[in-house]
Amino acid sequence: MRRGTRSVLCAAAVAAWVAIGGAQSAPAERVVKIPRGTYTFAQIVRESGTAATPIRYVPESAGAVTIRGGELSRVSNVILDGFTIDGRLDPEWPTKSRGVDIRDATNVTITNSEIIGPADIHTGYDISGKVNCAEGDGFPTQSGGIGSQNTENITFSNLVVHGFRGAGSLRGASDYVVSTLFRNNFDGLSSASNQVEIRDIVFWVLPTHLFSIQGAGRILLVNNLLVDAQDMFQAGVNWEGAREAHILKNTFYIPANKPCYGFTGMNLYNVKQGAIVRDNILVNKRDGWIGISDAGLPLLSSDFNLNYSYQPKIDEYYLIDRGTKILYEEWVALSGEDKNSIVRQAPQFTDPPQYGDYSANQWGFRIPRSVDEARSWFVLKPGSPGKNAASDGTDVGISAVAWRDTRPKAPTNVRITSN
C-alpha cells in the first residue's frame, strides 16, 4: 500500500466497524439447561449443534453452575451462556490454570460469564502495599483467561476475565472479542489470528504488554478503553507482527505515577501491509506515541489523535531503524502524518483513577464493576480539546456507550432439555 491508497484502506476499516454494530439475524436455537453443580467442559457440551440449529447451553438458574477451567475441543455451533468458569479448578492444576482454551472447533461463543484465575494482579503493588514489579512470578506454566487454536469463528462477548498470568492467546482463523472487561491480569492478549476484531473492551491493570502481535493477519482494534499497561500495541523488532493493523477510537491511559513499566504507546515496527492509527487518545507516563521502522513509515496513516505525556520531553516518535526520537513537529515534517492531531493538551476525562485511590482495593487502583462503569470515568468533559475533534466530527477516543451485542437470544418456543 502506498500513500495514495491509504484513504481507501481507512474507509474500508471504518465501514467494517460501522457494519459490526448492526443487529444480525440468528438461526433457531436449541437450549440445554444445565442443573446446579460443578462440571468440566466435556460434561457440559455433550453434543455439537449445526449451522441451522446451534445449541445454547445455559445454567438452570443464575449462578448455579461452575465450569472447571480447561480445554473445550472438537465442538461446533455451540454457545455457552451465563456460567462461572474457574481456572483454579483446572483439571491439570497446578501446572495449568486456564479459563476457556478452545481448540479444533468452529462457531463457538462464550458469553455473559465470569472467568476467574488464580490471583488478581495489582499493577506493581503486592498485597502488602509494597512496590513489586514481578507479580507474574509463581503462576502456573500455562495461565490464560481465553484462548483459541486451530479454530474458526470464535466469539468471546460480555465477559469478565481476571486473575490470570495472561488475559488470553488467540490463534484461530477468525476471533472476535466484544464488550468484555479484562482486569487484573499480568499480561494482555497475544494474537496470531488470521483475523481478529477487538471491540468495546475494557482492559484494566495489565502491567506488561497489552497486545503482543505474533504473526497475525488483519487486526481491528476499535473503541476500546485500555488502562494501565506497558506497551499498548507491540509488533516490535523481535515479533512476527501483523499484516494489517486498524487502530481506531481507542483511549489509552497510563497513570503518571505508575511504578513499573510504561513505554511507547504503539510499536508498529513489523506491520507489513499498512497501519491506520486514527481518532485515539494516548495519555502516557513515558514519552512515546508511535515507534516505527523506515520501511513501515510509507505504509502508515495516522491522524486526528490526541497525545499527552507527563514527561518534560513530550510527544516523541521513535524511528526504530535510526535509533532516534523526534518531537511532534519533526514527525509531521518527516512523515506528513498527524497534521490534525492534538499534542501537549490534557484530554480532561470525567473521573480517571490515580494510584492512592483506595476505594475498591487496599493496594492502589480502584476496580470497575463493569465495562460501562469504567467507560463512564473516561468521558471527555465539556471544553476538552478532544471534543468533536475526531475525523468524523465526534469526540476522539472511546464513544460514550459501548456497542452491545444485539443478536437475538434463544427464542421462547424452543425445546428445552436437560443434559
pLDDT single digits (tens) 13-27: 444 444 444 445 566
> What is the residue type of 365?
F
Tell me, yes or no, whether 1 lies in a domain. Answer: no
Straight-line distance from the first to the last Cα atom of the chain, in angstroms, rounded to the nearest whole number? 52
Tell me, yes or no, whether 217 lies in a domain. Answer: no
Tell me, yes or no, whether 8 lies in a domain. Answer: no
- For residue 347, give its domain range: 247-396
Residues 65-79: what's their mean pLDDT? 98
What is 57-126 written as a DSSP string? EEESSTT-EEEE-EEEES-EEEEEES-EEEGGG-TTTTTEEEEEEEES-EEEEEEEEEEE-S----TTB-
| 143 plus 263 within the same structural domain | no
347 band by pLDDT with thresholds 50, 70 and 90 = very high
Helices and strands: H and E segment counts in the chain = 4, 32
- Higher-pLDDT residue of 183 and 7 is 183
Tell me, yes or no, whether 24 lies in a domain. Answer: no
| 190 plus 254 within the same structural domain | no
| 339 plus 192 within the same structural domain | no
| 50 plus 197 within the same structural domain | yes
CATH number at residue 93: 2.160.20
| 57 plus 202 within the same structural domain | yes
Tell me, yes or no, whether 312 lies in a domain. Answer: yes
| 177 plus 41 within the same structural domain | yes
| 86 plus 184 within the same structural domain | yes
Whole-angstrom Cα distance, residue 188 to residue 270?
A: 19
Tell me, yes or no, whether 271 lies in a domain. Answer: yes
Q: Is-contact 255 285, C-beta < 8 A?
A: yes
Counting other chains too, the contacts that 185-189 makes at CB distance below 8 Å and 24 or more residues apart are 185/117, 185/121, 185/145, 185/161, 186/121, 186/135, 186/136, 186/139, 187/136, 187/212, 188/212, 188/229
pLDDT score of 18: 42
Half-sphere exposure of 215 (CA within 13 A, CB side): 6
| 382 plus 283 within the same structural domain | yes
Nearest CA-CA partner of 302 in 289, 311, 286, 314: 289
pLDDT score of 209: 72
Using the 3D structure, point to which of 208, 228, 257 is the last residue of a domain: 208
Q: Is residue 332 predicted with pLDDT exceeding 80? A: yes
Residue with cell 457440559: 44
Query: How many domains are there within the chain?
Result: 2
| 168 plus 289 within the same structural domain | no
Using the 3D structure, point to which of 208, 232, 263 is the last residue of a domain: 208
Q: Is residue 324 predicted with pLDDT exceeding 50? A: yes
User: pLDDT for 136-174, tens place per residue?
Assistant: 677 887 899 999 999 999 999 999 999 998 899 999 999
Tell me, yes or no, whether 153 lies in a domain. Answer: yes
| 261 plus 352 within the same structural domain | yes
Q: Is residue 267 predicted with pLDDT exceeding 90? A: no
- Cβ-based neighbours of 130, under 8 Å, separated by 6 or more: none
Tell me, yes or no, whether 166 lies in a domain. Answer: yes
| 201 plus 283 within the same structural domain | no
Nearest CA-CA partner of 57 in 43, 74, 73: 43
| 203 plus 255 within the same structural domain | no
Residue with cell 481491528: 220
